[in-house]
């Protein structure tokens, strides 16, 4: 799957590791259920993949050990992943990579970034230009985001009173 970071294709450093497979010496992406059994002194980077049903507080104890949190989207209309990313950024202060994986649409890409995702694994064969265009089309929002960028209501006030 191609990986997009701020709309640009990037190489994926992480190797997805199954529940029973040994961990490689390279950056590894493992399921949350396996985190408790991983040596805290591991030298290679570690990422954790979570389901959309996972509560952010279940991930929190491991945030100091992981450089990637991959959040699964089982369906494009399942918005729980947005909530997980936002909670990790705002409530737990997580600064590492948060990656969206699974089923989501180019139209949702801008909102993924606004909620705290830093990368997205798009389907093989996806038209990357459509994903990049989605960032250019939607550039204003009504809700505040994790980065604190301007929202429509704030722009109106500046024009009205400025």
**Over the stretch 6-42, which tens digit does the pLDDT of each residue have?**
888 899 999 999 888 889 989 999 999 999 888 777 8
Reduce the DSSP state of residue 29 to 3 states and report it.
strand
Query: Could you give the CA distance from residue 13 to residue 15 in angstroms, rounded to a whole number?
Result: 7
**Over the stretch 60-72, which tens digit does the pLDDT of each residue have?**
999 999 999 999 9
What distances in angstroms separate CA 145 from CA 8, 40, 55, 107, 140, one per listed residue? 21, 33, 20, 17, 11
Q: What CATH number was assigned to the domain covering residues 3-161?
A: 3.20.20
Q: Domain coordinates of the chain in residue numbers?
A: 3-161
Residues making up the chain, counted from first to last: 162
Query: Could you give the CA distance from residue 93 to residue 115 in angstroms, rounded to a whole number?
Result: 13
Report the predicted TM-score, pTM, of the whole model to 2 decimal places.
0.83
Q: Which residues make beta-bridge pairs with 101? A: 72
């Amino acid at each position: 799957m191609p990986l997009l970071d701020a709309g640009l294709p990037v190489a994926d450093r992480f190797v997805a590791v199954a529940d029973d497979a040994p961990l490689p010496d390279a950056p590894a992406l493992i399921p949350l259920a396996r985190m408790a059994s991983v040596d805290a002194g591991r030298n290679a980077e570690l990422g954790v993949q979570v389901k959309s049903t996972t509560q952010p507080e279940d991930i929190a104890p491991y945030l100091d050990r992981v450089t990637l949190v991959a959040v699964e989207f089982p369906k494009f209309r399942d918005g729980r992943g947005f909530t997980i990313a936002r909670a990790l950024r705002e409530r737990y202060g997580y600064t590492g990579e948060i990656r969206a994986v699974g089923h989501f649409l180019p139209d949702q890409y801008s909102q993924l970034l606004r909620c705290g995702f830093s990368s997205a694994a798009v389907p093989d064969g996806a038209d990357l230009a459509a994903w990049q265009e989605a960032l250019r089309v939607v550039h204003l929002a009504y809700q505040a985001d994790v980065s604190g960028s301007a929202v429509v209501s704030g722009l109106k006030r500046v024009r009205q009173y400025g």
